[in-house]
Amino acid sequence: MISRVIQRKNNREKRRLRIRRKVKGTSTLPRLSVFRSNKYIYGQIIDDVQGTTLVAVSGAKNLAAAKKCGELLAQQALKAKIKQVVFDRGGYRYMGRIAQFAQGARQEGLEF
């Protein structure tokens, strides 16, 4: 019998792949990808055409740190002259740390 943890991970992986089929980053409109571990939250702005990471940040696990991490990512993106991105939530539900990360990025001027 498959344990609940493995089944949850498989369900998230299915959602992640379904989202990635629809969300593509380009040079003019890169992809903002978010990964959430038990300890940290990571954000990257990626140009999928060239396969390069343009901007990346990471932060601690609480809500305030996730929001601060989103703000830092937006500041770095604006310095790199990136104003608009496509948001890739990585198969996670849009709540908690993921929502705070996105809200912090939007407050600093990033559009998605």
* Domain locations in the chain as residue ranges: 4-107
**CB contact at 8 A, 88 and 33:** yes
Question: According to the model, what pLDDT value does residue 39 have?
Answer: 92
- 54, with CB counted inside 10 A (0-12, 13-18, 19+), is buried
Q: Which CATH architecture has domain 4-107?
A: 2-Layer Sandwich (3.30)
Whole-number Å distance between alpha carbons of 98 and 91:
10
* Residue 14 or residue 73, greater confidence: 73
Provide the whole-model pTM.
Answer: 0.84
Question: According to the model, what pLDDT value does residue 8 have?
Answer: 74
Contact residues for 63 (Cβ-Cβ < 8 A; gap 6+): 96, 97, 100
Question: According to the model, what pLDDT value does residue 1 have?
Answer: 52
pLDDT tens by residue, 43-81: 999 998 999 999 999 988 899 999 999 999 999 999 999
Closest CA to 90 of 10, 12, 25, 6: 12
Mean pLDDT (the chain, rounded): 90
